[in-house]
Structure 1
């Protein structure tokens, strides 16, 4: 994936469906809160776990919105979701522990498990199931060395959003096998067609066995602010505090004040961005499905389309490179997310409708040239 992005650097007239981040500017009331924080002198270290008032507001949000009954002492503010994931892996994993991760799944899952001394076990997610897990198959991947299951819903790159029934079955397995769940929920606010986002930690008895990761980047267009948070049992929070003392110390003070405004302020901005993503999703999936050789189902969540390219006869990397070099369109090969991603490419529709329509036209012409050869 990085190779493709490096090749794209400096090229003109590109249409990028590549890196997944909102194309919107951070909402005004959040930016104003950051400016005010600077003027009021919030430029010093904060407590390791975050400003107490922010942790209190986040605990209220988790309790009321996500139905995870937590106290502020069970909330940690982090420098982005990647740090939250790293801390989660580091405090749970002992050398040799196995962690079941989704395949395809977000690119850092595997490396984070390795960094913590564990062994990632790839659970295949298949297109025939719209990339939802086969939970009977999941049981077969559990061994005496299994420590945790990492889930991501809604999913990057596939757009799959787990149902309550699926989460209940995963919870049942975790309870029976005494496993932790690491739940990546950064796309909680981008979920379509009336589906409800459900946090697995909200299910009976699961709060004590779950680390739930949330963020500001996707919901509030704050990727560069590097601000996220997690909810975990109090004993694990104490261990994370030790990691913070020896790594980043605390999340950025100004970003934390901005995050406070994001949670406490009007949520119209979240709804407006979601509305735009919803329209873009419909335009992109309709356009791609009209191209002979391509097919994709409408993602259930996130701003990614995971497109089946098998009929083109090209591998994921070959087609992504072809689209970049010949069509000036940036996509991500499915294999960047695991072996099960072969035969797919990921397109982010966190870009303008104008670019989406132009990108579809370029892809259509490029695929037609392949078909005519």
Structure 2
């Protein structure tokens, strides 16, 4: 059989993060600080709403973009928290933020269109762009404190006029660095995006886990060009429920709901009622988790610095992006494999996050303080033994 598979699917690989997590899982007594998985459980009132929905026989198809009550609650939630002005009709409920990203790129890309992706970044946006017949340009932000400056964006746009740039991806607070953008930085970027007339895919799934000041959405400045992706996985410890959101202008939503419909038909019925409870009565659920994450961040940041790592300014999410100490080779794959084998601590190599990531490792502190304390001891001993 010729051309047995889609060539674009054959070209991409399963995420390095997942592959390495599986690779180290067989090591006895390994401490895995690899995945972005909250160690908290879903709040009780949200779980109960899901249980009640099952008992009430909420087990049928819903409208393609989700039940209207949830779409309205989602719009109200983001409008109240982040000074936005969305209506219920400008919301699509998705199967996690991942599906929302896929819907965005499938909706806006024509063959040959180009997406700008600042790196280091979670490695999802590039393969989905390729699957949807687009191209991408990566922009290394490691020399700018891991943020994309307006000046650098202007230069990338000017240097690539022939590439039909369609969108900018902006992820903040960032996975893997934990770095976020100030209001001023976002206003400056918004001015460049507005002038260029491109979309901005703003993945703000870690918005609730912003530690220094209030999160600002770039959608506040660019309501007609911003495609806002978020969800409840991180804010409400609901990764397994697979509930996300896509918010955007009317003309975009009108087209995006088609991609969503033919991708998944509709979100899971009973899960939407759990999400509704989270949106209406769980607006402060993330505060308790954020308090604990902040303590863990401070502990691990200090521990890594004492061990000789340089750590990017972690203003949000639950990751530390740490520069490998000078006494080691800067090959991040070599470092994490040696650390896993000798110290029984698993981190993710920085190179997995694209240009600017080599020489770094990502640590997820979404683990108990007891686990982190033991991990810190092991990492220190590993560094000392070099």
- Provide TM-score, normalisation by structure 1: 0.95
Shift of 1:12: 2.4
SS at match of 2:208: coil
* 5+ residue gaps, structure 1: none
Tell me if the contact between 1:84 and 1:230 (Cα under 8 Å) persists in the aligned partners.
yes
Contact 1:285 1:298 survives alignment (8 Å):
no
Q: Structure 1, residues 36-93: CA drift from partner, whole Å, max 9, x if none?
A: 0000010001100000000011111122212120111111000000100000011111
Of residues 298, 303, 311, the one that matches 1:296 is: 311
Partner of 1:15: 31
Specify which of 147, 158, 164 is matched with residue 183 of structure 2.
Answer: 164
Distance 2:282 2:171 in 1: 27
How far apart, CA to CA, are the structure 2 residues paired with 1:335 and 1:10? 23
Greater shift in the superposed pair: 134-143 or 328-337: 134-143
Unaligned runs of 5+ in 2: 1-15
CA displacement, residues 147-186 of structure 1 (integer Å, 9 cap, x when unaligned)? 1111011110011110111111111111111111110000
User: For residues 11 and 250 of structure 1, what CA distance do their matches in structure 2 show?
Assistant: 40
What does residue 331 of structure 1 align with? 347
Q: What residue is the counterpart of 2:4 in the other structure?
A: none
Q: Does 1:198 pair with 2:216? A: yes
Give the structure 1 partner of residue 257 of structure 2.
241
Shift, 1:230, TM fit? 1.2
Q: Does 1:141 align with 2:159?
A: no
Count, aligned residues: 365
How far off its partner does 1:365 sit?
1.1
Which deviations, in whole Å up to 9, do the C-alpha atoms of 1:121-154 show, x marking residues without a partner?
101111x432122321221211331111110111
Q: Who is 2:118 aligned against?
A: 102
State the distance in 2 between where 1:175 and 1:247 align: 30
TM-score, length-normalised on structure 2?
0.92
Alignment of structure 1 residues 267-286 onto 2, 5 Å: 267-286=283-302
Whole-Å Cα distance in 1 between the matches of residues 268 and 340 of structure 2? 36
When structure 1 is superposed on structure 2, of 244-253 and 354-363 the one drifting more is: 244-253
Could you say which residue in structure 2 is the equivalent of 1:179? 198
Cα RMSD after superposing both structures:
1.2
- The runs of at least 4 consecutive aligned structure 1 residues that moved more than 4 Å come to none
Preserved CA contact (<8 Å) 2:149 2:189: no
Does structure 2 conserve the Cα–Cα contact (< 8 Å) formed by 1:4 and 1:321? Answer: no
